[in-house]
Each structure stands twice: as structure tokens, then as C-alpha cells.
Amino acid sequence: MKVRIDPERCQGHGRCYDLAPGLFVDDEEGYGTVLGDGAVPPGKERDARRAAANCPERAIDVLEE
């Protein structure tokens, strides 16, 4: 599984890195970015889906692989 943030849609609400700090971080302007290449480590799948479901801009894609 992988996560991805669409920078066109992200408005910096910050729920992703609050809810799943193991998967997302904030950049210097408060926008969300994925950690590393966005690969979701085993056991973090629920966090990934929760972050995606809680992004008000629907900017997070969860890619099942």
C-alpha cells in the first residue's frame, strides 16, 4: 500500500500528519507531505485510510498494491 498527497488539493489542514505522523509530515508551510516514497509499513494501513478519510480536501490517495 502507498499513500500520496495531491499538492493541488492540499490546503494544509494538517489532519494527515496529526493522525498518522508515521506516514505524513508537514512541510515548512504546513502542507502535508508523505514520508519517504509514501510506502505504508505493515500495520499502518488503518492509519493511512483514516488520514485519507479525514482530509477535508480529499487530497490523499491510498493506493492498494
Of residues 25 and 41, the one with the C-beta less far from ligand F3S = 25
CB nearest ligand F3S: which residue? Answer: 32
Q: Which residues bind ligand F3S (CB under 6 A)?
A: 5, 10-16, 31-32, 55, 57, 59-60
Of residues 2 and 31, the one with the C-beta less far from ligand F3S = 31
CB of 36 to ligand F3S, least distance (A): 16
How many Cβ atoms from other residues are within 10 Å of residue 11's Cβ? 12
Q: 65 CB contacts (<8 Å, ≥6 apart)? A: 1, 2
Nearest CA to 45 out of 57, 58, 24, 62 is that of 62
